[in-house]
């Protein structure tokens, strides 16, 4: 059985049947199926009337690798282009151009679908000029590649590269004193380095629950370098935030690097969908602790905002490369499997 399968595979790839060879088989009393496969070894009845040896010198053709090449690299190239367009700067800076490129990719999928439909119709109509092709396989694999690239690129963009571009477009402010600075003064802040005396006032933390718990804690200032006591500020405009990292009904904030003694930095919150809920949490804190927050800005509390920003870009590129490698591996497996299936069909 294994020997037969290997022989079928070699016949399908290395010894494709020419039109003249097919006619020769028919004239000698042999039948070929719609795939033009050679008759099984041993089934050639050379005693048939007028039979001549089937494998004549000069009737073999070289392997036509073009369909295999297109079936392997066509969907992979489409995947790589759409994935890149949806992930990187063109999606951020020129979204209309990005979606135009994606639409052109979909038109390529539609084109292969039309070709596959025409090939199927010719087969059903028993067109004498019909020859087996890879159109249907190419159409399905390109549709799969386009869909996977569009979804994966969009997810990668919103999780990694869009926040990176947002933060890179905002300003950087070092040595911000929460007791002196106001939120209106640095509204374009993306990354902040607070003074060494800045601390999180965990006793005035709180959470607002709407399915998830939106936790906030004000950034305050220590009375002196060695004291753990914090000043009571006239205005709290800088808030550390996090999701589902507090109970919501007690001052138990534990978001980000809240317990790090060397953390004095903040990475600006760029999620517009979360900002209203954090604003409601701040309003609760104002009422609960009798404090003011005239223009609150929201940050993720951490030691090194610059490194955190660059890690978003690294993660986005890594996800893209993993996607390319994974898709190529899957596509190679599908092409190899389809080749074996087509060879087996040719035996029937």
For residues 142-155, give the mean pLDDT. 96
Checking 22-26 for CB contacts under 8 A at 24+ apart, the result is: 24/52, 24/54, 24/59, 25/54
Helix (H, G, I), strand (E, B) or coil at 170: coil
Residue 175 three-state SS: strand
Q: What is the mean pLDDT of residues 107-127?
A: 84
Distance CA 52, CA 189 (A): 85
Report the range out of 11-15, 37-41, 69-73, 96-100 with the highest average pLDDT: 96-100
What pLDDT is recorded for position 48? 42
Q: Over the stretch 267-315, which tens digit does the pLDDT of each residue have?
A: 999 999 999 999 999 999 999 999 999 999 999 999 999 999 999 999 9
> Within 13 Å and on the Cβ side, how many CA atoms surround 296?
27
- 190-198 mean pLDDT: 92
CA 18 to chain centre: 43
Torsion of CA 73, 78, 81, 83, to 10 degrees: -110
Q: Tell me if the pTM is above 0.85.
A: no
Calpha distance 325→343 (Å, rounded): 27
Percent of the chain scored above 90 by pLDDT? 58
Local structure of 20: helix, strand or coil: helix
The 10s digit of each residue's pLDDT in 307-335 is 999 999 999 999 999 999 999 999 999 99
* Mean pLDDT taken over the chain: 82
Rounded CA-CA distance 304/309 in Å is: 9
Name residues whose C-beta falls within 8 Å of residue 7's C-beta, 6 or more positions apart in sequence.
Answer: 41
* pLDDT tens sequence across 157-180: 999 999 999 999 999 999 999 999
């Amino acid at each position: 059985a294994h020997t037969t399968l290997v022989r079928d595979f070699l016949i399908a790839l290395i010894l494709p049947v020419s039109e003249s060879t097919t006619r020769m088989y028919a004239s000698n009393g042999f039948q070929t199926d719609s795939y033009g496969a050679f008759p099984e070894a041993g089934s050639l009845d050379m005693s048939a009337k007028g039979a001549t040896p089937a494998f004549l010198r000069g009737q073999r053709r070289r392997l036509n690798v073009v369909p295999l090449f297109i079936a392997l690299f066509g969907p992979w190239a489409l995947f790589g282009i759409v994935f890149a367009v949806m992930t990187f700067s063109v999606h951020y800076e020129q979204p209309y151009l990005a979606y135009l490129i994606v639409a052109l990719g979909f038109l390529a999928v539609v084109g292969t679908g039309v070709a596959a439909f025409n090939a199927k119709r010719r087969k059903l109509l028993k067109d004498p000029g019909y020859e087996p092709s890879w159109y249907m396989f190419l159409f399905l694999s390109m549709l799969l590649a386009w869909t996977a690239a569009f979804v994966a690129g969009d997810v990668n963009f919103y999780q990694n590269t869009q926040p990176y571009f947002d933060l890179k477009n905002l300003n950087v402010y070092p040595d911000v004193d929460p007791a002196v600075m106001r939120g209106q003064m640095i509204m374009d802040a993306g990354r902040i380095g607070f003074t060494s005396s800045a601390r999180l006032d965990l006793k005035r933390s709180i959470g607002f629950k709407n399915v998830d718990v939106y936790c906030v804690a004000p950034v305050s200032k220590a009375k002196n370098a060695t004291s753990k006591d914090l000043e009571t500020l006239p205005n709290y405009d800088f808030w550390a935030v996090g999701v589902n990292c507090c109970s919501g009904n007690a001052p138990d904030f534990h978001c980000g690097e809240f317990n790090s003694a060397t953390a004095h930095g903040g990475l600006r919150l760029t999620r517009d969908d979360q900002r209203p809920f954090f604003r409601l949490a701040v309003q609760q804190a104002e009422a609960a602790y009798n404090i003011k927050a005239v223009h609150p800005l929201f940050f993720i509390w951490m030691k090194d905002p610059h490194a955190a920003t660059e890690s978003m870009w690294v993660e986005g590129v890594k996800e893209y490369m993993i996607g390319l490698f994974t898709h190529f591996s899957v596509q190679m497996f599908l092409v190899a499997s389809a080749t074996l299936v087509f060879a087996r069909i040719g035996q029937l």
